[in-house]
A and B are shown apart, each in its own frame.
Chain A
Amino acid sequence: MTDVVISGARPYGEGDPVDVLVSDGVIAAIEPKITPPDGAEVIEAGGQVLLPGFVDLHTHLREPGREDAETIATGSAAAALGGYTAVFAMANTDPVADNAVVVEHVRRIGESVGLVDVYPVGAVTVGLEGEQLAELGTMASSRARVRMFSDDGFCVHDPLIMRRALEYSRALDAVIAQHAEEPRLTVGAQAHEGELAARLGLAGWPAAAEEAIVARDCILAQHVGARLHICHVSTKGTVDVLRWAKERGTQVSAEVTPHHLLLTDERLTSYDPVNKVNPPLRTEPDTAALRQALAEGIVDCVATDHAPHAPQDKDVEWQAARPGMLGLQTALSVVVQTMVRPGLLSWRDVARVMSERPAEIGRLADQGRPVAVGEPATLALVDPDREWTVHGDELASIAANTPYEGMTLPGVVTATMLRGRITQLDGKVR
């Protein structure tokens, strides 16, 4: 592997620019000035911010099943361009990733693409149906080494099944990631239950439907001594429940999506389903509480819930549209906009919420590592000052369903490196 020198980078955005020598996939030296070895590739960083590569606990790669919206290859490219070096691929594929065969298949394709470490998430229950536990142990001990299980898209709503899943996962050092949505409270739900939904005539998705499940599952996780992860936290009330649970020592972690940090249900007046997502866009007090919770660590990390959808599933009337939006290539910029620029997070904090904590939660030993000599050269280089305008058809995903179309956002990931291999440079995937 060619040596690389990243010249003039600022690790964690701190201190004077330094040169970073990458050799054999490892950070070999960090010095004020390094003379590039013969044949080394030099990346001129010009004072940009150097961070550990990002880890996304919540990605929908759609393969197998919906390759017209995304494939593992195109999703991996989007991830690399977004600064990600590891993604957790959700289990709601077709067929469902509820057995060792499917998770190994996904893992193998991810490896052959090689742009990002693809870790399959296993389903908690067979067929995501919430009735019978999937073979969690077999998936955990398979080549795919599954450490996160989720029925995401659906809530593991039966309290006994959830209890058993949590309990059983203890032997696997795994975490159960819950899509918290009480199904009886969200029958036919189309939008955040509030003034906007009432005005637009859209069936409401009440905050209580999320908060009730989060509270229940925190209590169950505490009771059986298991690890629980809450997917896409979207309400102020959930933040309160998480704070309470963490104070009493529950092993619970939580993620927030970029779109729930930035966007609100005010967008729904257009009825454009590009804004349809589950859980739904909420209100300004919710986004404010989520930003604060992420800054305080009540919410542990940012996860994209990257959800590509083919045009025929989005360019329809609201209630017929699939929920979900692209997220991998815009996540960092949204975090810069909502958290870094307002002073809620430092760059070191960004490393924590986008890399270190998700790697810990997903039990990835070689991701989310410090930018230090001897550590894997798994890195993202970010130009914090540059702005860019989002266009769905210019993103690497096959689908183009970005809610940020036409928006100008700050922060550009100029290079991504996975164990010394440059996976993208200046927006070009390698």
Chain B
Amino acid sequence: MKHLLTTEGLDRDTATALLDTADELKRTLLGREVRKLPTLRGRTVITMFYENSTRTRVSFELAGKWMSADVVNVSASGSSVGKGESLRDTALTLSAAGADCVIVRHPASGAAQRLAEWLADTPTSVINAGDGMHEHPTQALLDAATLRERLGPLEGRRVVIVGDVLHSRVARSNVHLLTTLGAEVVLVGPPTLVPAALTGWLASRRVRVSFDLDAELPAADAVMMLRVQAERMHGAFFPSAREYSINYGLNAARAALLPEHAVVMHPGPMLRGMEIADSVADAANSVIVEQVRNGVHVRMAVLYHLLAAQTRAGEDA
């Protein structure tokens, strides 16, 4: 495995190996006073964030540092990107400067894949930290890690993903990974925010679309609330934040429809009140904080598999 660009096409064995490594790292680090492993000493990891991010960037940075890699953060503002440098030139520059791994977040769908092609002749690995509306594979992996931790194996489990599915890279990556791991996925949202076409790609997997959240909650093992981006509020996708909240917000009454064992997830950042009620976000069955914690271990596992696990010659994602 040279790159991690998508969860689409990630086979079950590889995904499971990544999750197992994440579990192992978590156990290893648990209760340690000094959270530092020597695994990636001498390796250089560069994060390239073309969009704002708190948790993902910090999570990757910590993941690298806890494994003793040298981590450099580049953001679009305050770098040559601000001077009009192309993504390709920036990537080649960072690779030439000695990056073993480039972690990229970019507003354009497909940006990470393009980057990997431009860096094909170099030893540099690429990790997709979110490309436009396309994928966010490490988010899906940390979600799966959290679900496994709480629910055990995902085979036969039902995960309800709620909100702006259409524009969500988190939803896409989760659909691929969760179904690969044997779970069933229900996408819930207003018709304007779920994919218009459910042929081919979705039909071939255990995925279904519903417009009725209340109907889906009683049989859910987990409910994953998605962020509603501010720009959707003005694009006539739904009449008002109030109506959205009434129909698709996870309030206390609605959360009570969930089975007792079911967990509540949110990739963050949350719009409390609109997407999810305060009390629900902080309830005992909410794993939102655990998702963040697992994020670091999952990203450590990804870095480990890309940079340390085996000789990388001849391997490809």
Q: Which residues of A contact B (CB under 8 A)?
A: 190, 193-196, 198-204, 270-272, 312, 315-320
State whether A317 and B196 are in contact (beta carbons under 8 Å apart), knowing that A201-B109, A312-B86 are contacts in the complex: no
* Residues A271 and B110 in contact, CB atoms below 8 Å apart: yes
Which of B87, B113, B114, B131 has the most chain A CB atoms closer than 10 A to its own CB? B114
The list of the 9 closest CB pairs from A to B, nearest first, reads A271-B110, A201-B134, A201-B133, A198-B195, A317-B108, A201-B109, A319-B108, A195-B197, A317-B111
Of chain B, the residue at the smallest CB distance from A194 is: B197
**Min CB–CB distance B290 → chain A (angstroms):** 27
**Complex CA distance for A31 and B199, rounded to whole angstroms:** 59
**Complex CA distance for A315 and B106, rounded to whole angstroms:** 16
16 pairs, A vs B, C-beta closer than 8 Å: A193-B196, A194-B196, A196-B201, A198-B201, A199-B200, A201-B135, A202-B109, A202-B110, A202-B132, A202-B134, A271-B110, A272-B114, A316-B87, A317-B106, A317-B110, A318-B110
Q: Which residues of chain B are near A199, meaning CB under 8 Å?
A: 8, 172, 200-201
B297 located at the interface, meaning its Cβ lies under 8 Å from any Cβ of chain A in the complex: no
Of chain B, the residue at the smallest CB distance from A193 is: B196
**Min CB–CB distance A50 → chain B (angstroms):** 44
* Residues A198 and B197 in contact, CB atoms below 8 Å apart: yes
**Min CB–CB distance B267 → chain A (angstroms):** 15
**Complex CA distance for A271 and B202, rounded to whole angstroms:** 20
* Residues A271 and B199 in contact, CB atoms below 8 Å apart: no
B153 located at the interface, meaning its Cβ lies under 8 Å from any Cβ of chain A in the complex: no
**Complex CA distance for A200 and B172, rounded to whole angstroms:** 9
Given contacts A195-B201, A201-B133, A201-B169, 17 further A-B contacts (CB under 8 A): A193-B196, A194-B197, A195-B195, A195-B198, A195-B202, A198-B201, A198-B202, A199-B8, A199-B200, A201-B109, A201-B134, A202-B133, A271-B110, A317-B108, A317-B111, A317-B114, A318-B110
B107 located at the interface, meaning its Cβ lies under 8 Å from any Cβ of chain A in the complex: yes
State whether A195 and B200 are in contact (beta carbons under 8 Å apart), knowing that A201-B169, A201-B172, A202-B133 are contacts in the complex: yes
B88 located at the interface, meaning its Cβ lies under 8 Å from any Cβ of chain A in the complex: yes
State whether A316 and B107 are in contact (beta carbons under 8 Å apart), knowing that A194-B197, A195-B201, A201-B172 are contacts in the complex: no
**Min CB–CB distance B176 → chain A (angstroms):** 9
**Min CB–CB distance B155 → chain A (angstroms):** 24
Of chain B, the residue at the smallest CB distance from A312 is: B86
Q: Which residues of chain B are near A204, meaning CB under 8 Å?
A: 196
* Residues A317 and B87 in contact, CB atoms below 8 Å apart: yes
Q: Which residues of B contact A (CB under 8 A)?
A: 8, 86-88, 106-111, 113-114, 131-135, 166, 169, 172, 195-202
* Residues B132 and A319 in contact, CB atoms below 8 Å apart: yes
**Min CB–CB distance A227 → chain B (angstroms):** 35
**Complex CA distance for A190 and B110, rounded to whole angstroms:** 12
**Complex CA distance for A86 and B241, rounded to whole angstroms:** 56
* Residues B197 and A200 in contact, CB atoms below 8 Å apart: no
* Residues B114 and A201 in contact, CB atoms below 8 Å apart: no
* Residues B88 and A315 in contact, CB atoms below 8 Å apart: yes
* Residues A190 and B109 in contact, CB atoms below 8 Å apart: yes
**Complex CA distance for A315 and B166, rounded to whole angstroms:** 27
**Min CB–CB distance B194 → chain A (angstroms):** 9
**Min CB–CB distance A33 → chain B (angstroms):** 57
- Residue from A193, A194, A195, A271 in contact with B114 in the complex, judged by beta carbons closer than 8 Å: A271
Of chain B, the residue at the smallest CB distance from A204 is: B196
How many A-B residue pairs lie within 8 Å, measured between CB atoms?
72
- Residue from A271, A316, A319 in contact with B88 in the complex, judged by beta carbons closer than 8 Å: A316
Of chain B, the residue at the smallest CB distance from A317 is: B108
* Residues B196 and A198 in contact, CB atoms below 8 Å apart: yes
Q: Which residues of chain B are near A190, meaning CB under 8 Å?
A: 109
* Residues A318 and B201 in contact, CB atoms below 8 Å apart: no
* Residues B197 and A319 in contact, CB atoms below 8 Å apart: no
Q: Which residues of chain B are near A317, meaning CB under 8 Å?
A: 87, 106, 108, 110-111, 114
State whether A195 and B199 are in contact (beta carbons under 8 Å apart), knowing that A201-B131, A203-B133, A318-B114 are contacts in the complex: yes
Q: Which residues of chain B are near A198, meaning CB under 8 Å?
A: 166, 195-197, 201-202
**Complex CA distance for A349 and B133, rounded to whole angstroms:** 44
* Residues A201 and B132 in contact, CB atoms below 8 Å apart: yes
* Residues B196 and A200 in contact, CB atoms below 8 Å apart: no
* Residues B109 and A271 in contact, CB atoms below 8 Å apart: yes
Q: Which residues of chain A are near B133, meaning CB under 8 Å?
A: 201-203
**Complex CA distance for A315 and B89, rounded to whole angstroms:** 10
Q: Which residues of chain A are near B86, meaning CB under 8 Å?
A: 312, 315-316
Which of B109, B113, B134 has the most chain A CB atoms closer than 10 A to its own CB? B109
Q: Which residues of chain A are near B169, meaning CB under 8 Å?
A: 201
Q: Which residues of chain B are near A316, meaning CB under 8 Å?
A: 86-88, 114
**Min CB–CB distance A319 → chain B (angstroms):** 4
**Complex CA distance for A312 and B87, rounded to whole angstroms:** 11
State whether A318 and B109 are in contact (beta carbons under 8 Å apart), knowing that A199-B172, A201-B135, A202-B133 are contacts in the complex: yes
**Complex CA distance for A350 and B195, rounded to whole angstroms:** 40
**Complex CA distance for A320 and B134, rounded to whole angstroms:** 15
Q: Which residues of chain A are near B88, meaning CB under 8 Å?
A: 315-316
Which of A194, A200, A201, A316 has the most chain B CB atoms closer than 10 A to its own CB? A201
**Complex CA distance for A312 and B109, rounded to whole angstroms:** 18
**Complex CA distance for A200 and B132, rounded to whole angstroms:** 10
**Complex CA distance for A193 and B131, rounded to whole angstroms:** 19
* Residues A318 and B108 in contact, CB atoms below 8 Å apart: yes
**Min CB–CB distance B51 → chain A (angstroms):** 13
Of chain A, the residue at the smallest CB distance from B135 is: A201
**Complex CA distance for A202 and B132, rounded to whole angstroms:** 8
Q: Which residues of chain A are near B111, meaning CB under 8 Å?
A: 317-318
Q: Which residues of chain B are near A312, meaning CB under 8 Å?
A: 86
Q: Which residues of chain A are near B87, meaning CB under 8 Å?
A: 316-317, 320
**Min CB–CB distance B7 → chain A (angstroms):** 12
Q: Which residues of chain B are near A195, meaning CB under 8 Å?
A: 195, 197-202
**Complex CA distance for A366 and B202, rounded to whole angstroms:** 54
Of chain B, the residue at the smallest CB distance from A321 is: B108
**Min CB–CB distance A280 → chain B (angstroms):** 14
**Complex CA distance for A270 and B118, rounded to whole angstroms:** 13
**Complex CA distance for A194 and B166, rounded to whole angstroms:** 12
**Min CB–CB distance B5 → chain A (angstroms):** 10
Of chain B, the residue at the smallest CB distance from A202 is: B109
**Min CB–CB distance B42 → chain A (angstroms):** 31
Of chain A, the residue at the smallest CB distance from B199 is: A195
**Complex CA distance for A317 and B108, rounded to whole angstroms:** 7
**Min CB–CB distance A286 → chain B (angstroms):** 14
**Complex CA distance for A203 and B166, rounded to whole angstroms:** 9
**Min CB–CB distance B218 → chain A (angstroms):** 28
* Residues B113 and A271 in contact, CB atoms below 8 Å apart: yes
